[in-house]
Amino acid sequence: MLRNKKVPSMVKDPQLIKVRRAQMVKGAVRLFIDKGFHRTTTREIAKEAGFSIGTLYEYIGAKEDILYLVCDDIYLEVSKRLKKQLSKEGSALERLKLAIHSYFQIVDDMSDEVLVMYQEVKALPKESLQYVLQKEKEMASILEEIIRECVEANELNVKGDEVNLLAHNILVQGQMWTFRRWALRKQYTLEQYIDWQTDLLLKGKG
Amino acid sequence: MLRNKKVPSMVKDPQLIKVRRAQMVKGAVRLFIDKGFHRTTTREIAKEAGFSIGTLYEYIGAKEDILYLVCDDIYLEVSKRLKKQLSKEGSALERLKLAIHSYFQIVDDMSDEVLVMYQEVKALPKESLQYVLQKEKEMASILEEIIRECVEANELNVKGDEVNLLAHNILVQGQMWTFRRWALRKQYTLEQYIDWQTDLLLKGKG
Amino acid sequence: MLRNKKVPSMVKDPQLIKVRRAQMVKGAVRLFIDKGFHRTTTREIAKEAGFSIGTLYEYIGAKEDILYLVCDDIYLEVSKRLKKQLSKEGSALERLKLAIHSYFQIVDDMSDEVLVMYQEVKALPKESLQYVLQKEKEMASILEEIIRECVEANELNVKGDEVNLLAHNILVQGQMWTFRRWALRKQYTLEQYIDWQTDLLLKGKG
Amino acid sequence: MLRNKKVPSMVKDPQLIKVRRAQMVKGAVRLFIDKGFHRTTTREIAKEAGFSIGTLYEYIGAKEDILYLVCDDIYLEVSKRLKKQLSKEGSALERLKLAIHSYFQIVDDMSDEVLVMYQEVKALPKESLQYVLQKEKEMASILEEIIRECVEANELNVKGDEVNLLAHNILVQGQMWTFRRWALRKQYTLEQYIDWQTDLLLKGKG
DNA sequence: TATGAATGAGCCTTCATTCAT
DNA sequence: AATGAATGAAGGCTCATTCAT
């Protein structure tokens, strides 16, 4: 399985690297939300992170590494939160509904971050892009597994090769809540949106 | 209703403006597909379009205008094609299914263009963005109307305020076919994808 | 035979390229004499040449190209001058002596330029270096030919494979006048230096 | 007479200074040979020397000091070796020939070092340059003295003020073997080169 | 109208040097 | 004495935009 991409650093202390990169990512996300990756300068990121441009480059090899770090971080956060919310109890279908609900809530909560990620990934160099897509596949797998459990428990009627598709639909509809917010938030609350999409996704499949 | 944004030009002859901008957009799309908006230079666009950088700036005010023109053009093309395909005959539900089918096919056919547009709109200056979002709303309206006809004909069971949501879902799932092609095209043909999504969108709503 | 390296330019008019590059080289030589290649910035060169940094990069691809242009120019000037001075009359030996005399005088006259060239060539990228060494070989050939004529005329006693070595010695002793000027100019006039070296080079070979 | 330049150090123990600087010089020479002074970073030198960048700056005041130390070291090595080879026996002329032979052999053996030195001295700050030129003068003196002995012994016919010039010629022709190696080594062995140059230098002067 | 040379602000990145530990 | 993280001035280069022809 594809592991994380190794971002080069001149600094040896791994703990320090972790701390500084966290500062960096935090600052970068704020800026990327505002102006996008390309319009944000490395100096701005350094300043926002609270250190000098020289220090910034002690912890990365190139500007694109920051974008990778940001994407990586957001995925990590999303899946960490999602895994924490996943229930071990209840019927498979109940667990799937909960997963959807949790995922949509997380996406709503991290709206800016998720939006940034989906808008900027394409700026990643090819190799990094692979790593990030891998994360997306892992997210899908989490849902696929629960869906498969529903199928096995006869709670959902989805053909084998469509499990994957359903998982993607869930993910996309979650993201849709962020990148269509200009249209959706005016008319629906998150809860309404969740209910409706859940219905749509699962009703016909009972 | 929001009309088109006025892109400044030093040239008077409207016919000439049209011709030159068409060349420009054609060249720009090819380049944006390849390298994205930010990595494409105005010089490259001029060259690809077949004229000089000086001439380019006779027909636009700034680089961003090109992006606007490109987005505008793609929307125009998509809706032109879609409208051409819309049927006046058959039941409302049949017409909706056809609309979905047509839309998905158009999106598949214009895959690169659609992808570019969704990835780059955010680079538009706020004002232009409004104009482009307006186009998206118009696209939605087309679908909404047909959906409403289905509801009126009792062929579909969707509550009033959910019509809009359903329309957005259709649009997003069409786009999904482009920006998730790395995952989807490996497993499904376009027809399979259309069938499945149509089912999902409409089955539970019968 | 190795032709000149092609230095890239965004400008089309070849005449203009010639003019601008001449300005560039002139300014660069002055600066390189003063501070060497590495300590001279592209901005300084542009300023000295009388145009902006942007314009500078319309006529070259990278800073190293300027160094190449400078070396190329100096060689061209030296060999142009030398060829102009070469006599067609007199005995072969007289013509060789004249050639030596001319070469030393040219080197003295272009002292700064020659010094810069020999101190900075090593900063050239490998490929460019080949082109410049080629020029040096051409300089040597000019002398070799005259030496060979001396041998054929029985005016000089040099074995076949040593013709080349003698030519190199002449070149190096000419350059020595520049890079050892801190020691030589204090004690000898150019004429004295020429006489003595000529004697040394040719006396034992009569 | 000009003594050695004082390179500043924060460390007191002179023995330790000696050791560290030796490590430093050794590493630096290797790197300078490869990439030249300007393209070599202080960090690289520290690493190659086996200690940290902080430690490096405990033993020098600035990067240029390293270059000075390197040049100084190379001169020291060359003259140490040369002095060791000088004979006290035989005729003056024999001793001169031996000196030339030895010098050329040393230069051949330390080819890289000598080349680096002559290519980089100009990067030294003015003051340091003086110290290094002084070393070159001392090298010349060694030869001058032997030449003078030849003259006194009537084994060589050189006018008083030309002794110095002859010494310089010897030195330059030795160096020529390094900085023209691209041309010379293809055609001559070191021994051939020595024989030929010795002949040239001394034949006409017998 | 069309051209393309000129401009310079601004970007990413490097690296000599410092200093707290 | 030794370390190495932090600094920021400075460098090479790009590219959107202008304007004289």
D178–C contact, CB cutoff 8 A: no
Q: What is the pLDDT of residue D145?
A: 96
pLDDT tens, C65-112?
Answer: 999 999 999 999 999 999 999 988 999 999 999 999 999 999 999 999
Q: Is the pLDDT of residue B200 over 80?
A: yes
What residues in D contact C196, CB-CB < 8 Å?
A: 162, 165
Query: Could you give the angle at the alpha carbon of A156 between the alpha carbons of A152 and A160, nearest 5°?
Result: 65
Q: Which fold has domain A7-61?
A: Arc Repressor Mutant, subunit A (1.10.10)
A5: Cβ–Cβ under 8 A, 6 or more apart, which residues? Answer: A68, A72, A127, A128, A131
| CATH class, D64-202 region | mainly alpha
Torsion from C-alpha of C57, C63, C65, C68, nearest 10 degrees = 140
Nearest residue to D7 via CA among D58, D47, D53, D51: D58
A32: Cβ–Cβ under 8 A, 6 or more apart, which residues? Answer: A40, A67, A70, A116, A120
Please judge whether C193 and D38 are an interchain contact, meaning their C-beta atoms are less than 8 angstroms apart: no
Buried b (16+ CB within 10 A) or exposed e, A142-166: bbbbbbbbbbeeebbebeeebbbbb
Q: Mean per-residue pLDDT for B141-154?
A: 96
**Are the beta carbons of B192 and B160 closer than 8 angstroms?**
no
Q: How far apart are CA B52 and CA B42, in angstroms?
A: 10
Length, in residues, of chain A: 206
Q: What is the pLDDT of residue A206?
A: 58
The DSSP string of D35-71 is: HHHHHS-HHHHHHHHTS-HHHHHHH-SSHHHHHHHHH
Q: What is the pLDDT of residue B160?
A: 87
pTM of the entire structure?
A: 0.94
C154 class by beta-carbon count within 10 Å (0-12 exposed, 13-18 middle, 19+ buried): exposed
Could you give the maximum distance between any two Cα atoms of chain D, in Å? Answer: 59
Q: How far apart are CA C99 and CA C83, in angstroms?
A: 9
Residue C184: band (very low, low, confident or very high) from pLDDT cuts 50, 70, 90? very high
Residue D87: band (very low, low, confident or very high) from pLDDT cuts 50, 70, 90? confident
Rounded, the Å distance between the CA of C18 and C1' of E5 is 14
Residue D164: band (very low, low, confident or very high) from pLDDT cuts 50, 70, 90? very high
Please name the helix (run of DSSP H) or strand (run of DSSP E) that holds residue A195, with its range, or none.
helix A190-202
Taking the CA of residue A121 and the nearest CA in chain B, the distance in Å comes to: 9
Locate all alpha helices (DSSP H) within A50-189, ordered by sequence. Answer: 53-56, 63-85, 92-109, 111-120, 126-152, 163-179, 181-187
Could you check: is the Cβ of residue A22 within 7 Å of any atom of nucleic acid strand F?
no
C36, C201, C205 member nearest D122 (Cβ): C36
**Are the beta carbons of A121 and A129 closer than 8 angstroms?**
yes
pLDDT tens, A96-135?
Answer: 999 999 999 999 999 999 999 999 999 999 999 999 999 9
**Which nucleotide comes closest to A57 if you measure CA to C1'?**
E13
Q: Is the pLDDT of residue D161 over 90?
A: no
Residue D2: band (very low, low, confident or very high) from pLDDT cuts 50, 70, 90? low
Rounded, the Å distance between the CA of B21 and C1' of F18 is 20
Buried b (16+ CB within 10 A) or exposed e, C168-190: bbbbbbbbbbbbbeebbeeebeb
Contacts 24+ apart (CB under 8 A), B113-117: B113/B29, B113/B33, B113/B74, B113/B77, B114/B74, B114/B78, B114/B175, B114/B178, B115/B33, B115/B178, B115/B179, B116/B29, B116/B32, B116/B33, B116/B36, B116/B70, B116/B74, B117/B70, B117/B71, B117/B74, B117/B75
Q: Where in chain B is the domain with CATH 1.10.10.60?
A: 7-61
Rounded, the Å distance between the CA of C13 and C1' of E4 is 10
A133, A182, A203 member nearest B182 (Cβ): A133
**Are the beta carbons of B181 and B104 closer than 8 angstroms?**
no
A10–B contact, CB cutoff 8 A: no
Q: Is the pLDDT of residue C1 over 80?
A: no
What residues in C contact D168, CB-CB < 8 Å?
A: 176, 180, 183-184
Q: What is the pLDDT of residue B27?
A: 98
Q: Mean per-residue pLDDT for C131-150?
A: 96
Q: Which of residues 31-60 of C touch strand F (CB under 7 A)?
A: 40-43, 53-54, 57
Taking the CA of residue D53 and the nearest CA in chain C, the distance in Å comes to: 23
Neighbours of A (≥3 Cβ pairs closer than 8 A)? B
Q: Where in chain A is the domain with CATH 1.10.357.10?
A: 64-202
pLDDT tens, C25-51?
Answer: 999 999 999 999 999 999 999 999 999
A136, A165, A197 member nearest B196 (Cβ): A165
Please judge whether A187 and B165 are an interchain contact, meaning their C-beta atoms are less than 8 angstroms apart: yes
Q: What is the pLDDT of residue D160?
A: 87
Taking the alpha carbons of C185, C191, C196, C198 in that order, is the dihedral positive or negative? positive
Q: Is the pLDDT of residue A71 over 70?
A: yes
Nearest residue to D75 via CA among D10, D163, D5: D5
D181–C contact, CB cutoff 8 A: no
Q: Mean per-residue pLDDT for D4-15?
A: 94
Token pair 């307006």 in the structure block, residue: B134
Q: At what angle do helices C42-49 and C63-85 cross, to 10 degrees?
A: 50
**Which nucleotide comes closest to B16 if you measure CA to C1'?**
E1
User: How many other C-beta atoms lie within 10 A of the C-beta of residue D12?
Assistant: 7
Q: How far apart are CA C32 and CA C40, in angstroms?
A: 7
